[in-house]
Amino acid sequence: MSMNRREFLQLLAMAAASGLALDSRSVFASDHYDLPPFGNVSLLHMTDCHAQLMPIYFREPNVNIGVGSGKNKPPHLVGEHLLKAFGIPPGSADAYAFTYLDFEHAARTYGKVGGFAHLATLVKKIRASRPGSLLLDGGDSWQGSATSLWTKGQDMVDACKLLGVDVMTGHWEFTFGADRVKHVVDNDFKGKIDFLAQNIQTADFGDPVFEHYVIKEINGVPVAIIGQAFPYTPVANPKYMTPDWTFGIHEDSMQQTVDEARAKGAAVVVVLSHNGMDADLKMAGRIRGIDAILGGHTHDGVPQPSIVKNPGGQTLVTNAGSNGKFLGVLDLDVRKGRIAGYNYKLLPVFSNLLAPDPEMSALIRKVRAPYEDKLSEKLAVTEGLLYRRGNFNGTFDQLILDALIETKGADAAFSPGFRWGTTLLPGEDITMEHLMDQTAITYPQTTVTEMTGQTVKDILEDVLDNLFNPDPYKQQGGDMVRVGGVTYTCDLSQGFGKRINNLMLNGKPLEAGKKYRIAGWAPIAEGVKGEPIWEVVSAYLRDKKVITPRKLNLPRLVGVEGNQGIA
Amino acid sequence: MNQMRRAFLKGAGALAALLSAGLLDPIAAFAATWNKTAFSAKTLEDAMQAAGYGNAVESPDILLKVPDIAEDGAIVPVEATSNIPDTVSMAFFSEKNPNPLVADFTFSNGAEPFLATHIKMAKTCIVRVAVKAGGKNYMTNKEVKVTLGGCGG
What pLDDT sits at residue B25? 56
Among the partner-chain residues B10, B65, B71, the one whose CB lies closest to the CB of A235 is B71
Specify the pLDDT at position A14. 57
* B12 band by pLDDT with thresholds 50, 70 and 90: very low
Asked if B148 reaches chain A (Cβ–Cβ under 8 Å), the answer is yes
**pLDDT at residue B8 is higher than 50:** no
Task: Answer whether residue A373 shows pLDDT above 60.
Answer: yes
* H helix or E strand, kind and range, residue A348: strand A338-348
Q: Where are the beta strands (DSSP E) in A421-471?
A: 429-431, 446-452
H or E element in which residue A15 lies: helix A5-17
pLDDT at position A133 over 60: yes
**Predicted local distance difference test score (pLDDT) of residue B20:** 46
A419-464 pLDDT, tens digit per residue, is 999 999 999 999 999 999 999 999 999 999 999 999 999 999 999 9
The model's pLDDT over A81-115, given as tens digits with 9 standing for 90+, comes to: 999 999 999 999 999 999 999 999 999 999 999 99
The strand pair at A412-415 and A515-521 is best described as: parallel
- B11 touches A: beta carbon within 8 Å: no
CA A119, A123, A126, A127: dihedral to nearest 10 degrees? -170
Please enumerate in sequence order all residues whose Cβ is within 8 A of that of A41, keeping only pairs 6 or more positions apart, or say none: A132, A133, A218, A219, A221, A223, A268, A331, A332, A333, A334
Helix, strand, coil percent values for chain A (each to nearest 5): 35, 25, 40
- Residue B67: pLDDT above 50? yes
pLDDT tens per residue across span B70-91 = 999 999 999 999 999 999 999 9
CA atoms within 13 A on the CB side of A108: 17
Query: Within the 106-125 window of chain B, which residues sit less than 8 Å (CB to CB) from chain A?
Result: 124
Share of chain A above pLDDT 90, in %: 93
Q: Provide the pLDDT for residue B32.
A: 53
Interface test mutation site (partner A, options B5, B78, B151, max chain A beta carbons within 10 A):
B151
pLDDT of residue B30: 52
Average pLDDT over residues B127-145: 97
Average pLDDT over every residue of A329-333: 98
What is the rounded distance in angstroms from the CA atom of residue A39 to the CA atom of residue A37? 7
Burial (0-12, 13-18, 19+ Cβ within 10 Å), B24:
buried
In which band, very low, low, confident or very high, does the pLDDT at A9 lie, cut at 50, 70 and 90? low
Considering only CB atoms, A459 lies closest to which of B65, B72, B148, namely B148
Quickly state the pLDDT bin for A6 (edges 50, 70, 90).
Answer: low
* Average pLDDT for B18-31: 52
Provide the 3-class DSSP secondary structure of residue A173. Answer: helix
Whether A416 sits inside 8 A of B151 (CB atoms) is yes
Q: pLDDT value at position B148?
A: 85
Nearest to A423 by CA among A116, A108, A155: A108
- CA-CA distance, A316 to A270, in Å (whole number)? 9
The rounded distance, in Å, linking the Cα atoms of A20 and A16 is 9
For residues A485 and A169, what is the distance between their CA atoms, to the nearest angstrom? 38
Q: Binning pLDDT at 50, 70 and 90, where does residue B11 land?
A: very low
CB contact under 8 A, B1 and A236: no
Q: How far apart are CA B48 and CA A26, in angstroms?
A: 74
Q: Regarding beta strands A134-137 and A167-168, do their DSSP bridges make them parallel or antiparallel, or are they unpaired? A: parallel
DSSP letter string, A212-237 = -EEEEEETTEEEEEEEE--TTHHHHS
Min Cα–Cα distance to chain B from A321, Å: 13
Residue B10 pLDDT class (50, 70, 90 cuts): very low
* Secondary structure element (H or E) that encloses residue A505, with its range: strand A500-505
Say yes or no for a CB contact (<8 Å) between B68 and A474: yes
Tell me if A218 sits within 8 A of A135, measured CB to CB.
no
- Whether the per-residue pLDDT at B22 is higher than 80: the answer is no
What does the pLDDT read at residue A8? 57
Nearest CA in chain B to A299: B153
How many angstroms separate the CA of residue B65 from the nearest CA in chain A? 9
Strand-strand pairing, A221-228 and A194-195: unpaired
Nearest to A205 among B6, B124, B145 (CB): B6
Q: Which of A183, A123, A193 is nearest to A153 (CA)?
A: A183
Work out whether the CA dihedral A190, A194, A200, A206 comes out positive or negative.
positive
Residue B137: band (very low, low, confident or very high) from pLDDT cuts 50, 70, 90: very high
HSE-up (13 A, CA, CB side) for residue A549: 7
B16: pLDDT strictly greater than 50? no
Instruction: Give the mean pLDDT of B118-140.
Output: 96
State whether the Cα torsion A454-A460-A466-A467 is positive or negative: negative
pLDDT surpassing 90 at residue A18? no
Chain B residues lying within 8 Å of A481, measured CB to CB:
151
Residues belonging to chain A: 567
- Res. A548 pLDDT band, cuts 50 70 90: very high
Confidence band (pLDDT; 50, 70, 90) for A329?
Answer: very high
Q: Which residue on chain A is closest to B63 by alpha carbon?
A: A252
Nearest residue on chain A to B69, alpha-carbon basis? A474
b or e along A160-171 (b: 16 or more beta carbons within 10 Å of the residue's beta carbon)? bebbbbbbbbbb
Check A466 against B1: CB less than 8 A apart: no
Domains of chain A are: 39-52+118-365 (3.60.21.10), 376-558 (3.90.780.10)
Mean residue pLDDT of chain A comes to 95
Lowest mean pLDDT among A307-316, B18-27, B143-152: B18-27
Q: Is the pLDDT of residue A21 over 80?
A: no
For the domain made up of B33-144, the CATH class stated in words is mainly beta
Nearest-Cα residue of chain A relative to residue B9? A205
Q: How many CB pairs under 8 A join A and B?
A: 88
pLDDT at A28: 85
What is the complex's ipTM, to 2 decimals? 0.89
**Mean pLDDT, residues A213-219 taken together:** 98
- Hey, is the C-beta of B4 within 8 angstroms of any chain A C-beta? no
- Residue B60: the pLDDT is 97
